[in-house]
Chains A and B, each alone.
Chain A
Amino acid sequence: MNLDGAQALLKTLNSLGIEYIFGYSGGAALPIFDALETTDTNLKFILSRHEQGATHMADGYARATGKPAAVLVTSGPGVGNTITGLMTAQMDSVPMILLSGQQVTWMLGKDAFQEADTFSISLPVVKHNYLVKNTNDIPRIAREAYHIATTGRPGPVLIDLPKDITQGEFTGSLDAEINLPGYHPEKAFNIDESKIDEAIELIKEAKRPLILAGQGAMIARADKELMEFAETLGCPVTSTLLGKGVFPETHELALGMLGMHGTAYANKAVVECDLIINIGSRFDDRILGKTEMFCRNAKKIHFDIDAAEINKMIEVDVAIIGDAKASLQAINKKIKPLETQEWLKHLNGYKKKYPLNYKKQGGLKMQQVIDEFYQLTEGKAIMSTDVGQHQMWAAQFYKNHQSFEWLSSGGAGTMGFGFPAAIGAAFACPDKIVACVVGDGGFQMTLCELATAAIHKLPIKILVLNNHYLGMVRQWQELFFDDRKSGVDLEGNPDFVKLAAAYGVKGFNIKRPVDVRKVLQQALDYNDGPVLINAECLKTDNVFPMIPAGAPLEEMLIERPKGQMAKPEGST
């Protein structure tokens, strides 16, 4: 008997090496769900409790492995609920294949039940998308989607699959070849040697060089080449939020994260350097401060695989367009050590003068919970975060030793990301400790996935850092809006430990600083499923250092200034 379209789809995904499909069923996707039962593949389907959760699970899986997972949802509201997850993946260059069911082709455009114009709705939040009109096109399109999602600058690709197409008879070839005349990621491996030479000339002249390591270096798996580059030059390294771990943060040349809530010494290095070498970061507005002032006296070299990122935010002196690993291999052949002892000594002075720290008195600090968790896990956990104050403190205090262990929504800043992303990572990496640090706000956006984590007995450590506020917004209101709290009080929070119990999930409360280590150790020792730790934290703490949006890095605040501050003029 011949296959139907849905079976051909699953066989193709299987042959591409897709391991997991996260999703939620529905009418228009019925043929595909049925094919999961009738087709012999290694694909594992995981039922989420909300489509958004499924997208973040696939996202977390991809960030923890560098490999894509699939998402399978139905039409209309099903795929509508994935838009935030697609946007999150698109902003952070995360590969993902999203399969959406769709009304039958002859009902398209007629406002049929659960029909949505998925192609148009998703267009701005994907790398590419398809509306399949012919059953025999399915294998080619699935292969193209995988190729597009995983090569060049990765991103999510959506395939919209009308029900008559997936249940139609398949008479084509499962090995159909891709046909993408406008897409040439292989060019990223042809590095322009003349640009390498121009970069070398700037590097030779540098007295105070600084490497800015971004996620592009991680995606290219250029960790080793980056290490060789930094160590040979004797050049300090700061990383972006998403680049955390591509250069070990405990290395003597590491300065930690830069930017709005980066370390003081990283930001001072940015201000004082005479050459900044950006490897795979897109000069995001969170790290620039006032754009015109950013590194205005320094020479700039930008390595990026995406030509559209060159000179987008910051005009650079030399641009090297291509894969970060191939580019670094090319430049590493030509570099010689620089005299940087003075510069490194100077920066070490800043490390001593402005260390990241916190007090263990005056209420429980989020920093303490993260710091002690870091020490207990020796920085070896896969750490997923949500978005807000806890995220920034986690970025500061949970130092990453290697790539693919820090999962955080950077570009989109998606609340609700952290917990489901940890679920995806837990499926991907059963041999690692997987934890998520979430706030009480973001956690409530996707906590229905407690059921998903519980039934699969995923030993995720869920650290709910609970201050009963939307803390980052409250911080801005305190600093810039006369402390008028508007729309930030989370009065009505549930008892998270009881809520966990209702899902059959073990829970602990932490109320005192002195109990942190003991409870975290108990949580780490419990591996018979997820464990939730509700830490009742100080309600009105603020994240520092801080560079108010639109201010130059020179105006970084190390601590809370007295009195009211002018409203920042920069982006949100």
Chain B
Amino acid sequence: MSNFSLPEVHTLSILVNNQAGVLMRICQVFARRAYNIDSLVVSKGSKIEFSRMTIGLIGEKEGLGQIVKQLDKLVDVIHCFEHNPSETVVKELMLVKFLVKQEDRTEALQVIDHFEGETLDLTSESMIVMFTGESEKMDSVLEMLKEFEIVETVRTGKVIMARGQLET
């Protein structure tokens, strides 16, 4: 039996060829060992031929090094890094739709103001607000908005960039 270790949060940054099927190749490395992906962001890289993937994971550290090496080995992967939180900036974007009556709107705006949210849609009964920042901030926002009726949330998942001279 392997030693028990607490689940940890890990973030991988993967630069891949911008081609059909590449996401499947990445996912297969996780799926074959039943390792769950917590968040996934895919978008164009700075060069048109590459895509950038940021994958958030919650799991044991054990085995992750192997996953990184197996990802790096894929023909369509240019590189794959696991970054320390200390060497990266990490951001997330969240949209929240919640019901708010007119008499409670001032209170809602105070919360939004505190977390530097941006109101994108306002009706007599509801609001859509955008927040950006670290994942923990998103969790706090949701905690504070609990007193209103949250209808939907959409989070992008984490995007990261390595600090200084480090390559992401």
Contacts of A310 in B (CB 8 A): 69
Taken together as a complex, chains A and B put the C-alpha atoms of A124 and B70 apart, in Å, by: 12
A526 at the interface (CB under 8 A from B): no
What's the count of A-B pairs with C-beta under 8 Å?
43
What is the interface size of chain B, counting residues whose CB is below 8 A from a CB of the partner?
22
Q: Known: A123-B25, A131-B21. Contact between A182 and B65, CB under 8 A?
A: no
B145 to chain A, nearest CB (A): 40
CB distance from A143 to the nearest CB of B (A): 13
> A182-B16, A182-B17 are known contacts. Are A127 and B75 too (CB-CB below 8 A)?
yes
B50 to chain A, nearest CB (A): 8
Output the nearest chain A residue to B77 by Cβ-Cβ distance.
A182
A182 with B76: CB separation less than 8 A: yes
B72 touches A124 (CB 8 A): no
A1 at the interface (CB under 8 A from B): no
Collect the chain A residues with CB atoms within 8 Å of residue B94's CB: none
B49 near A: Cβ within 8 Å? Answer: yes
Q: In the bound complex, how far is the Cα of B25 from the Cα of A183, in angstroms?
A: 15
Asked whether, in the complex, the Cβ of B28 is within 8 Å of the Cβ of A123, the reply is yes
- Interface hub of A148, A180, A183, A306 (most chain B Cβ within 10 A): A183
For chain A, the bracket of interface size reads: 10 to 19
Instruction: Return chain A residues, CB-CB under 8 Å to B69.
Output: 307-308, 310
Q: Is the CB of A182 within 8 A of B74?
A: yes
Interface SS of chain B: mixed
By beta carbon, the residue of chain A nearest B15 is A182
State whether the Cβ of B24 lies closer than 8 Å to any Cβ in chain A: yes
Partner of B75, one of A119, A180, A312: A180
A residues less than 8 Å from B49 (CB atoms): 181
* Contact status of A119 and B77, CB under 8 A, knowing A181-B49, A307-B69, A307-B72: no
Cβ contact within 8 Å between B73 and A308: yes
Interfacial chain A residues near B50, Cβ < 8 Å: 181
When the two chains form the complex, which single residue of B20, B28, B65, B75 contacts A183, counting CB atoms closer than 8 Å? B75
Query: Are A308 and B24 CB-contacts (below 8 A) given A182-B17, A182-B77, A183-B75?
Result: no
Please encode chain A, from 126 to 150, with 1 for each CB lying within 8 Å of some chain B CB and 0 for all others: 0110010100000000000000100
Which residue of chain A is the closest to B20 with respect to CB atoms?
Answer: A131
Contact of B21 among A119, A127, A180, A306 (CB under 8 A): A119
Asked whether A182 lies within 8 Å of B21 as measured between CB atoms, the reply is no
CB distance from A182 to the nearest CB of B (A): 5
CA distance A2 to B11 in the complex (A): 51
B 72-106 binary contact with A (CB < 8 Å = 1; else 0): 11111111000000000000000000000000000
Query: Beyond the given A131-B20, A182-B79, A308-B69, could you list 15 further A-B residue pairs with CB under 8 A, ordered by the A residue number?
Result: A120-B24, A123-B21, A123-B28, A127-B75, A131-B21, A133-B20, A181-B17, A181-B78, A182-B17, A182-B76, A307-B69, A307-B72, A308-B66, A310-B69, A311-B65
